[in-house]
Chain A
Amino acid sequence: QSVLTQPPSVSAAPGQKVTISCSGSSSNIGNNYVYWYQQLPGTAPKLLIYENNKRPSGIPDRFSGSQSGTSVTLGITGLQTGDEADYYCETWDSSLSVVVFGGGTKLTVL
């Protein structure tokens, strides 16, 4: 059971928008930065969003992050078949003093 809760799966059609939620508590999301990773099949994860809403160099602005209280959301617009992947949220948990990941969300582009 993950400390951070993500939906197991989401789906949408090409060109549409999708959001992936990640909920936690005041000991993690509520007081620490959140990061999002994309993992394509058979590859290592890649950083998509850091510090809640910033994009690393090379990440298109189709990807966005937002935070509200103890939840964060990853948004992806203009969906492409190449976006089909597993997405993970991650942060520090101040009570447990460890890094925690969400359980992951599988995105299907129909």
Chain B
Amino acid sequence: EVQLVESGGGLVQPGGSLKVSCAASGFTFSDSGLHWVRQASGKGLEWVGLIEGKPKNYATVYSASVKGRFTISRDDSKNRAYLQMNSLKTEDTAMYYCVTGVTTSGFDSWGQGTLVTVSS
């Protein structure tokens, strides 16, 4: 069974940093791209970024709203992906989901999300 479990969310002050994690199981993690998608309360889905798997040389892509502030990384030996968030803004407050596609080309596997709140 495919599982994605996010952790590390919490309250952080504007301008601060936070690193959230995604623990994966049930599929060949090293071969798979891993995306982060966020959702502010009562709002729609927003794609944050992607880290490709080993076959695509771990390339990363980011949305314009987080480029230069957020960094996605992974540790295939631990089956984990990470989202390092720096220079956080109040508008970064959201539920952050780790997402991948295992059986289809779409986002067929989602974690339960981890809540990040940026507030003073």
| Residue in chain B with minimal CB distance to A98 | B63
Q: Classify the secondary structure of B's interface with A.
A: loop
Which A residues are CB-close (under 8 A) to B107?
Answer: 35, 37, 45, 47, 90
Q: Are A50 and B106 in contact (CB under 8 A)?
A: yes
Residue B72 interfacial (CB < 8 Å): no
* Most chain A beta-carbon neighbours within 10 Å: one of B37, B97, B107: B107
Residue B11 interfacial (CB < 8 Å): no
Total count of chain A residues near the partner, CB < 8 A: 27
| Residue in chain B with minimal CB distance to A97 | B61
Say which residue of A33, A44, A99 sits within 8 Å of B47 (CB atoms).
A99
Q: How far is the CA of A45 from the CA of B104 in the complex (A)?
A: 15
Q: Are B61 and A98 in contact (CB under 8 A)?
A: yes
Q: Which stretch (B12-20, B81-89, B108-116) binds chain A?
A: B108-116
Least CB distance, B103 to chain A, in whole angstroms: 7
Q: Hey, which bits of chain A sit against chain B, CB under 8 A? A: 2, 33, 35, 37, 39, 44-47, 49-51, 54, 56-57, 86, 88, 90, 96-104
Given known A47-B104, A99-B50, contact A104–B110 (CB-CB < 8 A): no
Residue B80 interfacial (CB < 8 Å): no
Residue B45 interfacial (CB < 8 Å): yes
Q: Are B105 and A56 in contact (CB under 8 A)?
A: no
Q: Which of B34-51 contact A (CB under 8 A)?
A: 35, 37, 44-47, 50
